[in-house]
Amino acid sequence: MKIGDFARAGGVNVETIRYYQRRGLLIEPPREQGPRRYGSNDLDRLRSIRAAQMAGFTLDEISTLLNLDTSDRSAAQALANSRIAALDEKIATLQTMRAALVRLAGACAAEDAGPCPIIAAFNPAAHT
């Protein structure tokens, strides 16, 4: 299939395909008297990349994963554990942000407490 069809089949745009090729995640097929053609193996690899991204892996980590031997469980586990730790950290940050917004929303709901703290916190014009 041509690059446009390949991109659509993989759920990405053509620029994403080209970016993955520049990063070495996908191989650019040779041009044989016409447009480059992508096959089912290329599509499987693209889908694997997308699945790894959905699991939270970075492109560098995905590159490492794609180059691992299928029996290299310790390296795969180390990558997964590292990603889990990073996700846990991100979740903690998001929970802190959520709690702050809940407090601000509650304070804003108290109409007798003066100006809404959400507006005061995020709108510099409200301070004048």
pLDDT tens by residue, 25-36: 999 998 888 889
Nearest Cα to 127, choosing from 109, 117, 50? 117
Q: What is the pTM of this model?
A: 0.73
Tokens linked to 36: 């480059």
Count other Cβ atoms within 10 Å, centred on residue 17.
21
Greatest alpha-carbon span in the chain: 75
Residues near 14 by beta carbon (within 8 Å), at least 6 away in sequence: 3, 4, 7
**Residue 127's pLDDT is what?**
59
